[in-house]
Amino acid sequence: MIIIRTTEEIELLRESNLLVSSTLGELAKWIQPGVTTQKLDEIAEEYIRSHDAIPGFLGYHGYPKTLCTSINNQVVHGIPSAIKLREGDIVSVDCGVLKNEYYGDSAYTFPVGEISDEIKKLLEVTKESLYRGIGTAIEGKRVGDIGYAVQTYCESHGYSVVRELVGHGIGKNLHEAPEVPNYGRMGKGSKLKKGMVLCIEPMINIGRKEVIQENDGWTIRTADKSPSAHFELAVVVQKDKAEILSTFRYIEEI
């Protein structure tokens, strides 16, 4: 069952998702060569708690941290640690919060210092694919239209789409129906209705689409060790244009 949200619920979801956005904006100030992902995790946890919310991932299926920090060939679910970011790395920072009983969830892949043109292009294309997916999240379209938009754009640039992990509905639970794959066929899947709230989150690899799980039981990385990018925003399906609840504005203003 896909829940249709009331105006009041949408306002609460906006508050939670904007808190995640400003948390990522705070982290942007710290992301540079030499910082550990554990330090980023501590900053995020403190920031979230000081805004009357709790970390949304901490304890989720036993997940041990506030953030997922996935470096270079890690796709998602990297666990913050004492490892230092290095010049030329990319790091996907995925963050969730629970505030007023509603979840927020957003991710951004940051460059660390100067990165190669090849990887810059991966970040640009992945982010643009997210906006193309959002562009199809309108009443009357179907979930497959979102995946189709993301997939065709990324594959036209020679990149591949991770299949094992998908976007999702969000509300009083972090993950709700429907699943929102980043690949799909036009006109297939559940019909989109005004008031559905979805997290769209393309995970895109420079190389092959296959991924493996590392021995820590969480971290997902590309099987061929090629770099991977990940961006996520929460949107409300509306009649003519999706309404975006989270924003990269806090990050990109810096």
> What residue ranges bind ligand MF3 (CB under 6 A)?
57, 60-61, 63, 68, 77, 94, 96, 105, 168, 175, 199, 201, 232
Minimum separation from the CB atom of position 18 to Co ion (A) = 16
Q: Which is nearer to Co ion, 123 or 180 (CB)?
A: 180
Is residue 96 within 8 Å of residue 103, measured between CB atoms? Answer: yes
Q: Which amino acid is at 239?
A: K
10 CB-near residues (< 8 Å, 6+ apart): 195, 197, 236, 243, 245
Among 15, 26, 41, 105, binds Co ion (CB under 5 A): 105
117 CB-near residues (< 8 Å, 6+ apart): none
Which of the stretches 80-88, 100-108, 129-137, 233-241 binds Co ion when contact is defined by CB under 5 A? Answer: 100-108
189 vs 43, 128, 164, CA distance in Å?
Answer: 39, 23, 17
Q: Which is nearer to ligand MF3, 89 or 232 (CB)?
A: 232
Among 119, 122, 137, 199, binds Co ion (CB under 5 A): 199
Q: Which is nearer to Co ion, 32 or 74 (CB)?
A: 74
Q: Which is nearer to Co ion, 130 or 206 (CB)?
A: 130
Collapsed DSSP state (helix, strand, coil) of residue 121: helix
Residue with tokens 């995970």: 203
Minimum separation from the CB atom of position 203 to ligand MF3 (A) = 10
What is the chain's length?
254
Q: Which is nearer to ligand MF3, 77 or 127 (CB)?
A: 77
Minimum separation from the CB atom of position 177 to Co ion (A) = 14
Nearest-10 Cα torsion for 235, 152, 168, 50: -50
Q: According to the binding rule CB under 5 A, does residue 13 interact with Co ion? A: no
Give the residues lining the site for Co ion (CB under 5 A). Answer: 105, 199
